[in-house]
Structure 1
């Protein structure tokens, strides 16, 4: 008999079914991310992400289309692009992204990727755009790249690729843009690239190719529009095959060794829009014919060559917008036809031998923006229509023989920003409007024959930072309204006929760094309010009729290092406050001073500082002798000794009483209020110990923001303490980037968040009443500036200098590239680079540093100029735009200091600073004429390479300056004695830059 069937299973309850369904739904949701999203999450795990751009990449999403940097197809929702530029990412190239079947674009520009690009990148079969520029990739270029047959755009500029360009690169079939600029590629020039006939843009500038002639094979690139071949090692001439490049728009061959007469072949390029051949060795006259073929040519830059002759009239008939022929040997007249070009906005002809007058119609027909004809032999009156279109911004006429009055129309030219007409023969009164133009930041009228009073309309020039009117015939008094020029940094009115007293309003210019009123007829005394000029670096009141006693308050000017009060009627003693100054130059001669010369001035450097004061004694003057009451003085000597002995007893008793009271006060917690702002490290000391050690005997430096003390603690540790200047209550609401409050908070915010071996460490900070203190690690060798520009400078051998500059570069690179958001220091100078016991360098003084918000794309507007004279980038002085390029310019000046041994500002440079002096001297005479003679000759090649890096950093155009990351790479290669990386670099865009060559090299602000 068969067994009975099993009993039926019980039916699940509805509640159980609901629970199971809900759990299944949750499980499905947890694993709903598609395969592309999972692949991207694997990418995320392989990279370092300090900026947290991957924080929104969530595994709980259905797909990655809403993730940062991910772009998907509109209909299929498949990933088509990964766009993560400037995201601070680091790591190896993530080949996992090649699993994305629809991926067409990869943009990892300006990150910190490193290592080699793997050969299996060719797995990204559908890729059309690949941008890996401005990273740390190295090794050889992958020869599998052309296997991606759909590639249209490849940008590898600003990396460290080396070796040969692979022969397979001649096999690209659709490639239109290839950018390999600024790498370490060597070997022969990659001729195989001329087989890629689809190329429209080829950028190979600044590599290490073996020197040779320009290959004639370039004629095969019949579709090429942009060709950037600067610093590629070319010599010889441009081959005639270039005439077949009918679509060529931009051609740049600068910084090669091309020579001979100017190549006529370029005149056959009918579509040429811009021609830049500067800094080659072309010679001969500019061609007088064939210019008419260049119907599309708009911009010509042939500067820094050896061209002779005059400007061809045929050239001037072209529809030019920009013409730069500076630094040649051209002569003759400036053709009138040039002024009739309807598009001409930029005309730079400085440093030639042009003669005659400016064309009468210049500026009337075209929207002239920049006119620079400095250092020629031009004469006559200025055309009245220079600003007729209302766009003239830069007017630079230095070193000619122009005469007559300044046209009245320029007084109404609201667009003017930079006016430099010094060293001419202008006369008459300056148009009233010029004094108050709203955008002028530099007004240079020096060394002419201008007359009349200084106009009260000067108060309208609220943007002005420099007024240079020395060597004229101006008369009358200094206007009271000058106090309204809140951004004024330099006022030089020496050798005029100014009279009256020094107005109190002059001492309300908080940012004034240079005041030179020497050689006038000024009278009266010096106001006691002069100590409010906390940023005053140079004070020259020589050869006037000033009288009274020299105010002791001058000794309170924290950064004053040049003081000349000679040739006046000052009397009385030399004020004791002067000994508080760190003066490089002091001149009190030819006055009526009396008494003893303070012992601090008994040095050879001050030997001629007190001549012509017959009543002075001591030091280099006559010895003080007893007068007829000498016997009485000797009698009183015993009384004085008794008084001093009694005072000593009182002092001892007072000290004992003070110690007793101090301990009582401490026990009752009634001490002076000391509030600890923040501590950043584990400390072996407290704030009370720090405060007790701050006395004048321990001062090791002072600056615009305060004094710096050396404090030896009870545990044997040594620290440096910066005590910021106290701020008056009446100004508490004033917004001033240089105020102690802002500097204290800025330095705390900055140094409290960063850690780097080349950034000075901030131990802690505290307050005591109105005083604020910052406690740092102590740097026993002081600042680089003090070391370099003192007698100890000869102790700095080249190897030490190279180590210092590399350390400092790494510190700045950390601020610019590794901090989120990036930090711009804004006051990079040799005095803010401190040296430890082994001469390791650390960046210090972040009182005016600025965090740059990423959404501002690397720039931010400031309300006033921060920085020090000689270090300020020219564009920052008038745009007040903060970028890392401003720091790079300042760092370039530091490099020049180390190489030349000279200060950033020196009387030997005349109106120029170190940067412009080195630029012009190297251009005219070569490197040897600027090198510090104290440096070892056997290191000359290495020194010259570092000098070239400094010249690159001070490029007048910010976009031409390298990043600090690149500067570090270049210096590391020099230090390791590897083959030098090319040092003329253009950062930023993926296409070649065809910027204007900066003018007025000898007189940049």
Structure 2
């Protein structure tokens, strides 16, 4: 007995990344009922031999790269029930032979390049339930009247074609069986009929967005009681939103964005019955008035997305609204006229991921504590408001919260925030965009900004940041935009910025940068606008900057000056000095006080820049802090030549009296020179930064020794030596200077001890230079710390020897004996 050969009835080759053309031999599989070639990379034409598959019921060839026309032979297969050819590059008209398939139930030709009209014969497909012709190049009437004959049609999708604009087709209004209707971007105009909702008793999804429909939203829409999605966005509807929308009890998504709807938001109270509502979009309309607080709080707790931006709504944020919307994921209220602060009820929005409140009139401090419960917050836009307060109470606390370490968009620009940028900013490891521009932020840029390696956009412009551009910026490997313009940054531009491969926009204008502009990378295409306002920059001559002076050229000029001017002058001076030295030597020796320091003064020995001070103190690190006062702090530092120094820095934002103390101290130290006075190596004074570079005293102050903080008790000889040093310094100030000096603040913390325990008097911030006959001058008023005021010049007036001054200082001056008593 002869057995029948097995026949192929089903061929499924989907999702296999197959390439090449579809062989015509496929037409030999005449028993095939199911063919699926979806999600591959087949190219070329559909073979005409597909028409030989007379038993085929299901044809799926979606998402390939097929081109050419649809073979007419396909529509001669009378057994076909489903044809899905979407997502290719098919072209040409829809074959009119489509009427030859009376059993066809689903037809999808979307996302191709088909042209021409929809064949009128399509109305003969009385069994058709699914028709998707979207995103082609079809022309003709928006909806052929013949479609009205498809009495079983449940899904109709026609967007993205080139149909002739017109009003809502009457054929559509006859399709009472429709469940999904999508007529997006069809050029529809005119108004919807007043009884629109009565025509669709089974309709669940309605998409009419991006047309030119006008007039009011029909109240009858509520008669389509099975509606779950209503999208009328991007049209021109006017009037108020009918309260009858609240009768659509199954509604999940309501989108009226981008229309011309007006009136108040009272209709929101009618939505409290919509227990399934998850998305409400009212953005970009012409609403006015306030959010009605008492009723809005009753909107479904299932609401996940709420958009009411650009609607001109006023008033404060509704506390009731924020109390109940515990499921919110998106909240966008930007570009309105909201006032007041951010209410504490925000803490109830624990699931919030995106928050837009920018472009309002919100004020006060940002209550960072409300964000502690928002563990999913990824986008925070609070820009263009009136938030104020120190940065430590805003960004500083915000970035220290591990609960929002997933934040990737942070925009606090165009507010009145002030203070320093907290180093905790480095905790936001996932941050991709940070915009803090146009505030009042100051201080140095934190080193750990370089830890934000996912950062793409960084804008810190229009603030008062100072200090150098950190080398840590070279670690921002993902950076595309960097704007540091309009600050007070100084120093050189780090060459490492040229190594950031993705950096395409850089703005450093209007700072105090200096030195050579780097080459390569973003600097290859940088414009003069990005560097202007930095007059000390050089190089980049194509941008009009001056060339940088080479070190060789400098050495040659110095050598020429030496040979031509300095050496002859030096020889002449040596000759004159040798000639008069012998005559004056004895006279000088007899007149110079024995206690005067015979070493040259270190005052202004060399120039020290603000940048070198920052580097010397490791950016004013706490480990280098020696002490702090009311108007200044003292740091230990190491200069570039290796010298260990103490650096006295006036506190940022120093007051006018503090500035005067700085000037007074400089003025006094220019006029004194003594071995028991603290020496000044240099000073640095700019508009925003003032500092003194002082001789470093490794044994700290006398106060610490008297308090036994060094675990060492001063011996009698050490006490006498220190007492003698201080008295010697005061004797010199009162009698040994060309202009007598009143220190006015002698106390143990201002007496410093070097490595040999020699005492040095310092802190001349409130000292006075006396003019004229100081013997008749009256003592100065009390300016220093009570109990520590130095005596007036008059107490030394009748003393003739160092010993007498020493005894008088200890026994007769009560202000000193109270604290500088060493026994």
Which of the five TM-score ranges fits, normalised by the shorter chain? 0.5 to 0.7
Return the offset for 1:636: 9.9
Bigger CA radius of gyration: 2
Give SS of 1:218's match. helix
Return the offset for 1:124: 2.5
Output the CA distance in 2 between the equivalents of 1:182 and 1:437.
Answer: 41
Give SS of 1:507's match. helix
Deviations 1:241-295 (A, max 9, x none): 43332221111112222222224464221111111112222222323x3123110
Alignment check: 8 A CA contact 1:436 1:457 kept: no
Output the CA distance in 2 between the equivalents of 1:587 and 1:120.
Answer: 65
Any unmatched runs of 5+ in structure 2? Answer: 567-823
Match of 1:356 among 269, 272, 289: 289
- Determine if the alignment matches structure 1 residue 309 to structure 2 residue 239: yes
Matches within 5 A, 1:321-470: 321-334=252-265, 335-340=267-272, 341-360=274-293, 361=296, 364-384=299-319, 385-386=321-322, 388-428=324-364, 429-434=366-371, 437-452=374-389, 453=393, 454-458=395-399, 459-460=401-402, 461-470=404-413
- Determine if the alignment matches structure 1 residue 195 to structure 2 residue 116: no
Judged with a 3 Å threshold, the aligned counterparts in structure 2 of structure 1 residues 367 and 634 are, in CA distance, closer, same or farther, namely: farther
Return the offset for 1:553: 5.2
- Determine if the alignment matches structure 1 residue 504 to structure 2 residue 434: no
Alignment check: 8 A CA contact 1:552 1:575 kept: no
Output the CA distance in 1 between the equivalents of 2:292 and 2:382.
Answer: 22
- Determine if the alignment matches structure 1 residue 297 to structure 2 residue 233: no
Matches within 5 A, 1:666-745: none
Judged with a 3 Å threshold, the aligned counterparts in structure 2 of structure 1 residues 363 and 381 are, in CA distance, closer, same or farther, namely: farther
Give SS of 2:302's match. coil
Return the offset for 1:465: 2.1
Deviations 1:761-819 (A, max 9, x none): xxxxxxxxxxxxxxxxxxxxxxxxxxxxxxxxxxxxxxxxxxxxxxxxxxxxxxxxxxx
Matches within 5 A, 1:966-981: none
- Name which of structure 1's ranges 199-208 and 240-249 shifts more when overlaid on structure 2: 240-249
Alignment check: 8 A CA contact 1:317 1:337 kept: no
Give SS of 1:399's match. coil
Deviations 1:662-709 (A, max 9, x none): xxxxxxxxxxxxxxxxxxxxxxxxxxxxxxxxxxxxxxxxxxxxxxxx
* 2:77 counterpart residue number: 148
Give SS of 1:222's match. coil
Match of 2:216 among 276, 285, 289: 285
Matches within 5 A, 1:918-997: none
- Determine if the alignment matches structure 1 residue 495 to structure 2 residue 438: yes
Deviations 1:47-106 (A, max 9, x none): xxxxxxxxxxxxxxxxxxxxxxxxxxxxxxx64421111323344444545555653211
Output the CA distance in 1 between the equivalents of 2:90 and 2:497.
Answer: 57
Return the offset for 1:201: 0.5
Judged with a 3 Å threshold, the aligned counterparts in structure 2 of structure 1 residues 435 and 443 are, in CA distance, closer, same or farther, namely: farther
Give SS of 1:574's match. strand
Return the offset for 1:445: 0.8
Deviations 1:905-962 (A, max 9, x none): xxxxxxxxxxxxxxxxxxxxxxxxxxxxxxxxxxxxxxxxxxxxxxxxxxxxxxxxxx
Alignment check: 8 A CA contact 2:335 2:360 kept: yes
Query: What's the Cα RMSD here?
Result: 3.6
- Determine if the alignment matches structure 1 residue 520 to structure 2 residue 520: no
* 1:797 counterpart residue number: none
Deviations 1:586-641 (A, max 9, x none): 555556x64xx52414425x7xxxxxxxxxx779xxxx999x9997279599xxxx
Give SS of 2:540's match. helix
Alignment check: 8 A CA contact 1:406 1:426 kept: yes
Judged with a 3 Å threshold, the aligned counterparts in structure 2 of structure 1 residues 81 and 543 are, in CA distance, closer, same or farther, namely: same
Judged with a 3 Å threshold, the aligned counterparts in structure 2 of structure 1 residues 33 and 575 are, in CA distance, closer, same or farther, namely: farther
Output the CA distance in 2 between the equivalents of 1:496 and 1:631.
Answer: 51
Matches within 5 A, 1:130-149: 130-149=59-78
Output the CA distance in 2 between the equivalents of 1:229 and 1:543.
Answer: 53
Return the offset for 1:422: 1.0
Give SS of 1:314's match. helix
Matches within 5 A, 1:730-879: none
Output the CA distance in 1 between the equivalents of 2:271 and 2:368.
Answer: 25
Alignment check: 8 A CA contact 2:179 2:205 kept: yes
- Determine if the alignment matches structure 1 residue 574 to structure 2 residue 515: yes
Any unmatched runs of 5+ in structure 1? Answer: 1-31, 37-77, 607-616, 638-1005
Judged with a 3 Å threshold, the aligned counterparts in structure 2 of structure 1 residues 547 and 209 are, in CA distance, closer, same or farther, namely: closer
Alignment check: 8 A CA contact 1:462 1:485 kept: yes
Return the offset for 1:547: 5.0
Alignment check: 8 A CA contact 2:21 2:44 kept: yes
Output the CA distance in 2 between the equivalents of 1:265 and 1:633.
Answer: 101
Match of 2:167 among 210, 232, 237: 237
Alignment check: 8 A CA contact 1:237 1:263 kept: no
Output the CA distance in 2 between the equivalents of 1:585 and 1:603.
Answer: 6
Alignment check: 8 A CA contact 2:493 2:517 kept: no
* 1:480 counterpart residue number: 423
Which structure is higher in RCO with an 8 Å CA cutoff and minimum separation 6? 1
Output the CA distance in 2 between the equivalents of 1:556 and 1:257.
Answer: 50
Matches within 5 A, 1:620-639: 632=561, 635=564
Alignment check: 8 A CA contact 1:446 1:468 kept: yes
Return the offset for 1:342: 1.8
Alignment check: 8 A CA contact 2:347 2:370 kept: yes
Judged with a 3 Å threshold, the aligned counterparts in structure 2 of structure 1 residues 95 and 575 are, in CA distance, closer, same or farther, namely: closer
Output the CA distance in 2 between the equivalents of 1:252 and 1:561.
Answer: 42
Alignment check: 8 A CA contact 2:297 2:324 kept: no
User: Please, what TM-score do these two structures have when normalized by structure 1?
Assistant: 0.50
Output the CA distance in 2 between the equivalents of 1:265 and 1:162.
Answer: 39
Alignment check: 8 A CA contact 2:168 2:189 kept: no
Alignment check: 8 A CA contact 2:26 2:50 kept: no
Alignment check: 8 A CA contact 1:339 1:366 kept: no
Output the CA distance in 2 between the equivalents of 1:221 and 1:511.
Answer: 54
Deviations 1:275-319 (A, max 9, x none): 1112222222323x3123110112111222222222122234323
Alignment check: 8 A CA contact 1:242 1:265 kept: no
- Name which of structure 1's ranges 164-173 and 87-96 shifts more when overlaid on structure 2: 87-96
Output the CA distance in 1 between the equivalents of 2:170 and 2:263.
Answer: 30
Alignment check: 8 A CA contact 1:551 1:575 kept: no
Alignment check: 8 A CA contact 1:556 1:577 kept: no
Judged with a 3 Å threshold, the aligned counterparts in structure 2 of structure 1 residues 359 and 585 are, in CA distance, closer, same or farther, namely: farther
Output the CA distance in 2 between the equivalents of 1:208 and 1:603.
Answer: 50
Match of 1:125 among 40, 44, 54: 54
Output the CA distance in 1 between the equivalents of 2:115 and 2:377.
Answer: 47
Return the offset for 1:562: 4.5
Give SS of 1:285's match. coil
* 2:626 counterpart residue number: none
Output the CA distance in 2 between the equivalents of 1:509 and 1:427.
Answer: 29
Judged with a 3 Å threshold, the aligned counterparts in structure 2 of structure 1 residues 127 and 426 are, in CA distance, closer, same or farther, namely: same
Alignment check: 8 A CA contact 1:364 1:387 kept: no
Matches within 5 A, 1:603-642: 603=543, 632=561, 635=564
